[in-house]
Amino acid sequence: MNATLLGLHHVTAMTADAQANIDFYTGTLGLRLVKLTVNFDDPTTYHLYYGDASGQPGSIMTFFVWPGANRGRHGTGQTIATAFAIPAASLDFWKARLKERGVAITSEEDRFGERLLIVSDPDGLVVELVGSTRRDPRTPWNRAGIPVEHANRGFHGVTLSEEGYELTAELLTKTMGFAMVSDAADRFRYAPTHLPDSGVPTFVDLICQPGAPRSTMGVGTVHHIAFRTPDDAQQRGCLEMIRKLRLNLSPVMDRKYFHSIYYREPGGVLFEIATDPPGFTVDEPIDKLGSGLYLPARLEPYRKELEAVLPKVKLPELS
């Protein structure tokens, strides 16, 4: 395609408990809370954003907070695992940290030459910590008692469960600018052919699971995954290319921190293409990211009403 995609921008999932979610992703995994805001389509609920030290695309894990919502079911047509990169030499550090914080390691395995730890977050979302063997120049958030040499670097990739992978693979390679880089048994790995400024690719793994149950959406599942594009012009190029495929495609939506378009890939996973700018410093300086509730301008007149219905949360210290 003429437009450029640089790998993953963010992953958005669903949680029932804002405080437990904050405690796990900042306190255990060591990510930075880069934005506490609301779901723009349902402003009586939170939207939480986590990332690296500066909230760079490619590190952003986000959550819709829906207390009391039904739990989802993991299965085909869904992103079933989100992987973060840690230094390969830090696996023992992370084993000890997870044990200390009462997080069970459900599996430890080798995948394409790298060792990884598999855990679940408080809602049952599958999270992988991959001991990456690649040089990783990304700047991690080195708080929560994690020395910088062991810190979480950001996304390594995602795993999509598909009833059949071929049509999704065709979309990735012929339209979205990815190429297959590894395969083993029923797992096929794709990487962007254009790299971000960090030079570190984020992978999309497809698992072919024709006998698995169909997924259902709910708490503990991924709502959508977003891919990076450098600017609005590149996004328009993406929009025109995808429109020709006759996929259900949204118009461009202003999400304040990025601009978005959405469509479903052939297996049913909701894809988004998000612009790198404006970024998370558009409404607060970098040293204050995640320090308070931020609202889009149209909702500022309702701040007091929203703060009255949103659950109180304890935010992580910035220093």
Fold of 8-309: 2,3-Dihydroxybiphenyl 1,2-Dioxygenase; domain 1 (3.10.180)
For residue 222, give the amino acid letter: V
Separation of CA 303 from chain center: 27
91 within 8 A of 115, measured Cβ to Cβ:
yes
For residues 85 and 149, give the distance between their C-alpha atoms in angstroms, rounded to a whole number: 12
Tokens encoding 30: 């060591």
CA distances from residue 10 to 84, 156, 191, 194, 273 in whole angstroms, order as listed: 12, 12, 15, 17, 10
pLDDT in tens, 233-244: 999 999 999 999
Q: Provide the pLDDT for residue 1.
A: 45
What angle is formed at CA 38 by the lines to CA 35 and CA 40, rounded to 5 degrees? 120
In angstroms, what CA-CA distances link 315 with 21, 35, 103? Answer: 11, 11, 21
Positions in the chain short of pLDDT 70: 1-2, 319
pLDDT at 197: 84
Q: Which residue ranges make up each domain of the chain? A: 8-309
Which residues are CB-contacts of 151 (< 8 A; sequence separation ≥ 6)? 30, 86, 140, 141, 142
